Structure 1
Amino acid sequence: MVQEFYSEFEFRTEIIRSLLRSVLLKTIVPIYKANAKQVQLGVSDFYRLKSYTDEHFRQRLSVAEIALSIGKSVKQVDKLAKDNAGISVKELLDERALIEAKLQLAFSQYSITDITEQLGFNEATNMTKFFKRHTDVSPKDFRQLCRMGLRKS
C-alpha cells in the first residue's frame, strides 16, 4: 500500500482504495457480523421471553419459573428484559396483567371477582391492591370512569 501511495501510476488512488477496502473487509466485517449475531440472539431470546410472559401471565408465575421454562437463569432473563424493554421480568408480567385487567374492566360485563380469577389472583383484594398500586384507582372506580367516558362519546 505504501508503494502504491508513492507511485506515479495514474490509477494509484483506485488501487489504494481497493487495498483499503480489502483490509476493512478482512478485519472489520467479521467483528461486525459477530456483534450483529449477538444482537439478533438477544432479540430472539427477548421475543421468546415476551411471548412466554404474554401467553402465561394469567398463571402469575415467578421469574424463576419463567426462566426455567425458557432455559435461562433468573439473572439472564432479567438482563434480557432490562436490555430490551427497560423493565424487569416482574414488571413485564405486571404490565401485561394490568392491560388485561383494564380491557376486561372497561369492555366486559364480567364481575370483578370473575376478572380476578381470569387474571390468576387468589382473591379480589389481591387484584384490587395490585390494580390500585399501578393506577391509583380501584377496579370498581376504573370501570365506572370508563363507562362514563363511553356514554359521553
Structure 2
Amino acid sequence: MFKNEREIAKKAEQMLETSLRSKTASFANHVNNTNTPSLKEATAKARLKKYGLVRAGTAKYYMRSLSIKMARHGFIQHYGVDTIREAGKRTRHKPKETTYRFKHHIMNMKPKPFINKAVEDSNVIEFVTTNIAKHRSEEVLINITGIIGD
C-alpha cells in the first residue's frame, strides 16, 4: 500500500492533525490577544532520518517520531496547572486605554486531556506501528534474500 516510510509519515501527520482539529474546534477563539496563536492551528510533524546517498540511489527515509506542535497554552490546558501567579500590570486599549495592576494569586486549572483523546481517536499509533513494522520487515527480508542469493 505504501511505497516508503515518508508516505506512512505523511498519512500519520494527516490523521493526527484531523483528530486534533476536531477536538479543538469547540474551543473559544482568543478575544484578548490577537498575537497569540490559536489552538485550532495545532499541527502534527513527523521526523524522518535519511540514510544513504541520493546520487548512489541508496537514499532511504526512516520515520523517527511524530510530534504535536501547538501554542504553549494548549499543553497547559491539557495538563492543568496548580501554582501561584505572579503580580503584574495590564493595559486595556478598548473601549478606552486603562492600565491596572493585580496581586499575586493562586491559579488552579484542572487538566482537560484533549491531546490524549485526539491521539486515541485518530488511531495513529496502531496505524504507524503496523505499517512501519510491515515495511521494515519486508526490507529486512529483501536484504536477507539478497545476501543469501549472492
- Same fold (TM > 0.5): no
| Structure showing greater relative contact order (alpha-carbon pairs closer than 8 Å, 6 or more residues apart) | 2
More strand by proportion, 1 or 2?
Answer: 2
More helix by proportion, 1 or 2?
Answer: 1
TM superposition score normalised by structure 2: 0.26
